[in-house]
Amino acid sequence: MKNLPSDSRWRGWKRGELQIHFIHAGVGESLFWIFPDGTTMLLDCGATDTRGREPAPVLPDASRPAGDWVARYVTRVNPAADKTRVDIMMLSHYHADHTHGFPAAAETLHFTRAFDRAWPECDDPCRISDYDQDGSLAVMRKLYADLVARDGLVVEKFVEGRRDQVRMLHGGAEGFSIFNLCANGRMADERTGEITDLYQDYPDRQPGFSGKQWINENGMSLGMIVRYGAFSFFTAGDFSDKAQMPEGFERFEIEDRLATVAPPVSLAKMNHHGYFAMPEKLVKALRPRAWVNGVWTHRQNSADTIRRLADRALYPGDRAICPTFMPPERPCSDVPDPAYGGAHVVVSAPPGGETFSISFLSATDESMRVLAVNEYASGADDHFAQ
C-alpha cells in the first residue's frame, strides 16, 4: 500500500480512466461508473427505511431522500456535457436497498438504457410478484414505464455469459471488457461458456413453481467481471444464499459454487454488504488486493466475514478492506481510518490498469473533500483473462 498526498478536493475524471464511485448515503447501495471512454452507468440506487436497531449514519443528513443525494453526487462527477444525462442504469436485484432510491434520482437524472436481471416478464426463474415483500417490483415497473415515456428509455434483460452486452458507447479503450458472470440463480464459466443453474437440483423446481417455495432474491443478483488491462473487478450485488434442502437433501452454499468460476481479481465488492457472506472458497478464489462494499447498518461487515477477508491463511499478502462505513466497535487493521466515520469510496484505474487507487471522500457534506488516497498494484494472477 502506498500513501499518496491527498488533494483538498476531488480531482475528477480523466479520459482513459475507469472510475467506480461507491456513493454513501447510509440507507442503501449505489455505484456510479465512468468507463474509460466516458460512458456512464448507475448500478443500483437503494433507499431502505427498515435498517434495524443499529443503522449507519444517514449522510449528509435526512433533509433529502437518498436518491436525491445520489443524483446530486452524480451531477458533480459526471463527465458528460449534460450532467443529468447517464447512459446506463442497472439493477442488480429486487430489494429496496438497491431499488427504492431510483425514483428520486430519476427526478434529476435521465437514462438512455437499462439492464435488469428479469425484464420484461419478471418471471425468471419464477414470478417476482410471488415473493416481493418490499414493493421493489412495483417501484421498478412504474419507474421503467415513466422513463420509457419521458426519455425513450430502452430496457434490456441482462444475460449471463455475454461479454458484449454491457459495453462502452462513446468510443473504445484497449483492454476494457465486462463479462456477465451470473444472474437469476445461474452462473457462467468464462473459460468454457457453460451455464450452470445453481438451483437445478432443488426438488420443488417443477413447472409453474412459486417463488414462495424457495426463492432468495439475493441469489438472483446479477454479477460481472470487469477488466481494464491488468486491473480486474468482481461485483455481484447481494449474491448469497444458503439453500436449505428438504430432509434427505444436502444443504448448499451458492457462493461456494460461484467460486468454481470466479477468477482472481485486483478488487472485489463483498457480496450482501459483507453480511454473513463471502465464504472461504470464494475468498480464496477471488483473492483481491482490496475489498470494497456499500453499507447501511452496523450489522453489515459482520465479524465473521471481515475475519475471512483478513485471513492471510486463505490467501497471502497485504490487502485493504474499504467499506463505505465500518462499525467503530469492530476495528480491523486492514480497514483505513476514514471508513469508520462513513465516506464515499472511489476506485480509479488508469489506462493499462497496472495500478489502481482507492480514495475516501467526505460524505458528511457535498464538498468532495478527499480524506485519504491509497494506491495498489493490480497484480491479480488472472488465468481467466482473454
Q: What is the largest CA-CA distance in the chain?
A: 61
pLDDT of res. 244:
58
pLDDT of res. 53:
72
Please state, in angstroms and rounded to a whole number, the distance separating the CA atoms of residues 218 and 209.
18
pTM of the entire predicted model = 0.94
Give yes or no for residue 132 having a pLDDT over 80.
yes
Please state, in angstroms and rounded to a whole number, the distance separating the CA atoms of residues 277 and 208.
30
Structural contact between residues 245 and 251, judged by C-beta atoms closer than 8 angstroms: yes
pLDDT of res. 226:
99
For the chain, what percent of residues have pLDDT higher than 90?
A: 81
- DSSP 3-state of 76: helix
Structural contact between residues 356 and 375, judged by C-beta atoms closer than 8 angstroms: yes
Pairing verdict, β 176-183 and 223-228? antiparallel
pLDDT of res. 4:
47
Q: What is the mean predicted confidence (pLDDT) over 101-107?
A: 99
pLDDT of res. 54:
81
Which residues are CB-contacts of 85 (< 8 A; sequence separation ≥ 6)? 40, 78, 109, 110, 112
pLDDT of res. 7:
54
In the chain, what are the domains? Answer: 2-204+211-377 (3.60.15.10)
Give yes or no for residue 50 having a pLDDT over 80.
no
